[in-house]
Structure 1
Amino acid sequence: MEVSKGRMSRWPEKNDALHKKLHTKPKPLRYKPMPVSEALKQINSYIKVAIDLGTYSFLANEKNVARHIIELEHAIDETAYQLLIHVSLTIGHNVEKALASLPLYVFVASIDKVTDSFKDLAYLSLMGYSPSNKVYQYYTYLTDVLTLSVEGSYLKGKTIKWVGEEYAIEPIAILRSGVWNLIPEEEVTIEDKDIVYITGVKENINEFLEALGKKPEEGVKPPEDILSIISDIDSMIDIVKLLNDLAHYQLKSQDPLMVDEVMEIEMFVDTLRLRLSEKLMDTPSLDNKDKFALMSLVTRLEDVTDSLTYSFTMPAKDEYREVIAKIIESSGEKVKSITVTENSVAVSKLMEELEEFGASVLAIRKGAEWVAVTPYNLNKLVVNPNDVVLVLYPAVLEDDVIDFMKKYNPNLAK
C-alpha cells in the first residue's frame, strides 16, 4: 500500500479469505446449564472486554487481538446462545412467557451487531488501516485509562489476583495458544507464552510497566486542532461502556422511562459523531490515512451505540414485566435521572454519600453533553445546578434515595 503526500493512493485489495474467516459463526453448541442472571452478567463483562480490546487493538495497531477477534466473538456468542437456549427451555409452550421474553431475543441480536462492529475494525487493522503511532501517542497522552498487552514471560507463575492487587490494575483477558480467557478467575496462574491484557489508571499502568523494566506509556501532547478530536473519541468510548451497563440494567428492570434517557444519550452520540466528522475533515495536522482510520473508529463506535440502543426498543409490557423478572432473576435495581437545582457537589463526594444506600452515579449531563462516570474520572467531575445525574439504586430503597437527593433538588418526587 502506497501512501504519499498524506493521501491514500488506493483502497486496500480485497482479502476474501480473511473476510470469510472474520464472518464465520460458532460450531453447534452443547447446552450448559447456566442461570439466566449469570449469563447476562457474563455477557455484560465480555462486552466491556470487547470494547477495551477492540478500541485498544485498533488505536495501537496491536495485531494479536485483531487476528483472534473471531475467537473473541465466539466466546461472547457462546454465552449469548446459551442464554437463548435456557430462555427457550424456560418458556416451553407458554405464550405469555414467550411474549415477555422478546426483549431478551432483541438484546442478543443487538450483541451480535456489537461484535460485528469490532470485527470490522479488526479487518481494517489487519489490512493496514489502523491510525499511525503518532495518533496513538496523542490518545495515550490524553486518556486517563490505558489498556495494553504484556508477554506472559514477565509474569510467569504469578496469579491474576496477585497482579491486580500488587499494581492496582485489572487483568481483563489472557490469550493462550489462540484461546481467550476473558475476565480470568483470580486463581489463574500466568504462563510463559501467554499474552496478558490489562487495563487501569494510566499512573498505575506506568508503575506496573516500570516494575517490569519497560518504558512507561506517557504519550505525546497533540496539536490544538487534534486535542478535542482525541478527547471526544475518549468520551465516546466511555459512553459506549455506559450504554452496555444500561442495556444490562434495562433487561432486568424493563423500565419504560429508561427508553427516553437512552435515546437522549444516543442522540448525543450521533451529534458527537457529526461534530467529529467535521473536525476530522478540517484539521490540517492529520494526513488522510489517519483521518480515514479515525473516521472508521468513530463510525463503528456509533454503530455500537445504535446496536445497544436497539436493545431498549422493546421493553416488556406492564403485564409481562413480572414474568420476565422471574425469567432473568431480576435484582430489583432502578435508574432515575435527577436534575440538580441547588448546591454544587463533587461527583466523588456524591458517590460516597450514595454508597450508604447501595446507589451510584452512572453519568451526568451538562447542557447537551453526556459524560459517563467511571472509576477513572469521577475525581475530576463536579455536578452543578441544572446538571442532570443518572443514579442507579436498589428499588427497595427508592424512598431513602429520593429523600437524600432532595438536598440537591427539594422538589424531587418519585
Structure 2
Amino acid sequence: MGPPRGDPPPTTVEYEPVSVKDLLVEMKDTSEHLIDLSYSAVLLNNGEIATEVLRLEERMDVLQLRARMSLLMAARNPADAEKLAPVLGIVSGAEKISDAAGDIAKVVLEEVGLPSAMRAALPEAVETLVRASVEEDSPYAGRTLLDINLESETGVRVIAIRRGSEWILNPGPDTEIRAEDVTLLRGPDAGIEDVYGTITGVEYSPPEIADSEIEDLDRAVDSIVLMKNLSELAVDLAYGSILFDTVELAEEVRNLEVEVDALRSRFEAWTLRAAGDAPDPVALRGLLHLGFSTEEISDAALEISEGILREIDVHPVVELAVQESDEIIVRVSVESGSAIEDTSLVDGVPESDVSMNVLAVRRPEAGWMLVPDADTQLQGGDVLIAKGTRTSAETFRALASA
C-alpha cells in the first residue's frame, strides 16, 4: 500500500544494526494505534485522521522491513530458525493489521460509501478523536505534557504526535509539545472543544450524527462496532500471549477469531437485507469493506499467536521486549465458591483488595462482554481477561479459585 497522496515515494530501507526488541515494541504500539485511528476516521468521517493512518502505515512498512532484515541476520542454525519463527509471525501479523487499517482509512478518503448510521454508533464505540496542528502562538507550544497537565484539567489525552515524518507514540509527561507538531487527541467532546481551540486557534466543529430508520442497517452497524472491539481485544491478547509466553491467552485469541468470523456472516446478511430498503444501496459498499478488513485484523491476531499455540519456545529477544514492564495480561477462570464470585465490577475493576483491570468477560451462555458495565456481577464459570502487575495477577488468580 502506497504513501498518502501528495507525499514523496517511500525512502529506501537498508540494513542497519538495530534492536529487534525495540522494533517489536514499536510495531506493537503502532498496530494498536492504527486500529484505533482507522475506525475513528470512519466513525467520525474524518479525512484528516484517515490520512494520518496512511502516514503511520508507511512507518509500519519501514519497521517490518527492518525487523525482517535483523531476524534474517540472527538465524545462524536450525534451532535459531525455529525460535525465530514466532517472531516472524509478529512481524507478518503486524503488517497485515497495518494493511487492513489502511484499507479502512481509504473507505473515507476514496468515498467508497458509508451510511450515516455509522456516526450514530460513535457515542457507544469510542471517545472523540481529533487531529490538531500546533500553531506557533499556541499556549501549549514549548511546554511538556506534565507542565500543561492536560488530562487532569480537561480529560483529553495526547495519544500520539507526528513531528515531520517521525512519530511519538504514547507520549509521556516529559514529552514537549512543539509548534507545527501534529497531535492526535482523544477525550470527551467538551474537553476536545477547548483543547482543540487552544492548540490550533480554530474553533472545533463536532461531527454530525444522524439516526437510521432501517432496522437491519442498525444491526449491521452494531455488528461492525462489536467486531472492531473484539478484533482490538484479539490483537492485545495476541501480543500478550507471545510476549508473556502464555498458551491460555493464545487460546482466547482463537476463540475471538471464531467469534469475529461468525459475526461477519451475520453482518453480511443484515447488510444485504438493508440494501433492499436503503434509498441508495451503493452507499453501503463501505460497510462490506469494513467487514472484510475487520476480519483480516482478527486473522492477523491469530497469526501473531500461532507460535505459542504450536508450543514453539519463545526467542530470547521477545523475553527482552517484555522485561521493561511489570504489567501483564492474564486469563482467569472464576470458580464457584471463590472469593470474587458475586462481586461487582466498577469500571472494569472488581470489588476486591487487588488492583486488576478486567478488559473482558467470556460467559458460557452470553459470550463476550467487553469493558464490563459497573453493574456486572462475576459468576462461577466466567473467564476474565485482566491486566495488572505480576504480583496482583497472582493474587487475583488465588481469589478466583475456590
Q: Which runs of 5+ in 2 are unaligned?
A: none
Question: Does the CA-based 8 Å contact 1:151-1:194 persist in structure 2?
Answer: yes
User: What does residue 404 of structure 1 align with?
Assistant: 399
Taking the TM superposition and a 5 Å limit, the aligned residue runs for 1:311-390 are 311-315=304-308, 320-321=313-314, 323=316, 326=319, 328-330=321-323, 333=328, 335-339=330-334, 341=336, 343-348=341-346, 351-353=349-351, 356=354, 359-366=356-363, 367=365, 369-373=367-371, 379=374, 381-390=376-385
1 CA distance for matches of 2:285 and 2:10?
A: 29
Distance 1:298 1:177, change over 3 A: same
User: What does residue 26 of structure 2 align with?
Assistant: 42
How far does residue 308 in structure 1 lie from its aligned partner after superposition? Answer: 1.4
SS in structure 1 opposite 2:16? coil
2 CA distance for matches of 1:204 and 1:381?
A: 29
Q: Identity of counterpart residues, as a percentage?
A: 16
1 CA distance for matches of 2:114 and 2:122?
A: 13
2 CA distance for matches of 1:100 and 1:230?
A: 41
> Which one of the candidate residues 117, 131, 139 is aligned to 1:135?
117
1 CA distance for matches of 2:82 and 2:303?
A: 18
1:38-66 deviations in Å (ceiling 9; x for gaps): 43332222112111221122343322344
User: What does residue 104 of structure 2 align with?
Assistant: 121
The total of aligned residue pairs comes to 383
2 CA distance for matches of 1:188 and 1:322?
A: 36
User: What does residue 5 of structure 1 align with?
Assistant: none
1:17-40 deviations in Å (ceiling 9; x for gaps): 989999x7652145364361x433
SS in structure 2 opposite 1:149? strand
1 CA distance for matches of 2:144 and 2:370?
A: 28
SS in structure 2 opposite 1:45? helix
SS in structure 2 opposite 1:336? strand
Query: Which moves more between the two structures, 332-341 or 98-107?
Result: 332-341
How far does residue 378 in structure 1 lie from its aligned partner after superposition? Answer: 5.0
Q: Given the alignment of the two structures, is residue 214 of structure 1 paired with residue 204 of structure 2, yes or no?
A: yes
Structure showing greater relative contact order (alpha-carbon pairs closer than 8 Å, 6 or more residues apart): 1
Question: Does the CA-based 8 Å contact 1:156-1:190 persist in structure 2?
Answer: no
Q: Given the alignment of the two structures, is residue 145 of structure 1 paired with residue 136 of structure 2, yes or no?
A: no
TM-score of the two chains, using structure 2 as the length reference = 0.79
User: What does residue 272 of structure 1 align with?
Assistant: 263
SS in structure 2 opposite 1:314? helix
CA-based RMSD of the aligned residues comes to: 3.8
2 CA distance for matches of 1:166 and 1:19?
A: 35
1:348-396 deviations in Å (ceiling 9; x for gaps): 276255673x5432311243532332xxx65465444544322345556
> Which one of the candidate residues 60, 65, 79 is aligned to 1:96?
79
Q: Given the alignment of the two structures, is residue 189 of structure 1 paired with residue 171 of structure 2, yes or no?
A: no
Distance 1:41 1:17, change over 3 A: closer
2 CA distance for matches of 1:122 and 1:88?
A: 32
2 CA distance for matches of 1:30 and 1:184?
A: 28
SS in structure 2 opposite 1:266? helix
User: What does residue 172 of structure 1 align with?
Assistant: 159
Letter in 2 for 1:117: A
SS in structure 2 opposite 1:320? coil
2 CA distance for matches of 1:345 and 1:258?
A: 24
User: What does residue 281 of structure 2 align with?
Assistant: 288
Q: Which runs of 5+ in 1 are unaligned?
A: 1-15
Question: Does the CA-based 8 Å contact 2:87-2:315 persist in structure 1?
Answer: no
Question: Does the CA-based 8 Å contact 2:239-2:304 persist in structure 1?
Answer: no
